[in-house]
Amino acid sequence: MNNSTYVRLADGRLVDAPLVDARNMTCPMPLLKLKQALNQMVSGDIVKLLATDPVSKRDIAAFADLADHKISVKQDANEIIFIVIKG
C-alpha cells in the first residue's frame, strides 16, 4: 500500500483508507496489488484502488464477487477508482 486517503461512504461518513496506486499498470497487476492490500486487512476494512487499465473493471468486479467483497467503481476520463470493503 502506498499511503492513505479519505473515502466518503454512502452514509456520509469520511474514513481514512489505504490507497493502492495501480495506475499505468496492466492486468493482472492492479488485481494483485489489491489482493496484497486486502490480505493485510480484516473484514469491514476499506481500501481505495486507482487504476488505468480498463480490463481492471472486469477483473476486480469478478474477484470481489467471488470473495464477497463490496465494491464501488467510478471512472473518469483518466482513471478508474475502486472503493473496496473487505468481506
The percentage of the chain sitting over the pLDDT mark of 90, rounded to a whole number, equals: 76
Tell me, which fold does domain 3-85 have in CATH? Translation Initiation Factor IF3 (3.30.110)
Whether 14 is a known active-site residue: answer no
Q: How far is CA 57 from CA 12, 42, 49, in A?
A: 25, 23, 11
Active-site entry in 27, 41, 73, 81? 27
pTM value surpassing 0.85: yes
Report domain extents, the chain. Answer: 3-85
Alpha-carbon span 60 to 84, nearest angstrom:
10
Q: 46: closest CA among 12, 5, 76, 11?
A: 5
* 18, 1 contact by CB (below 8 A): yes
Span 45-62, pLDDT tens digits: 999 999 999 999 999 999
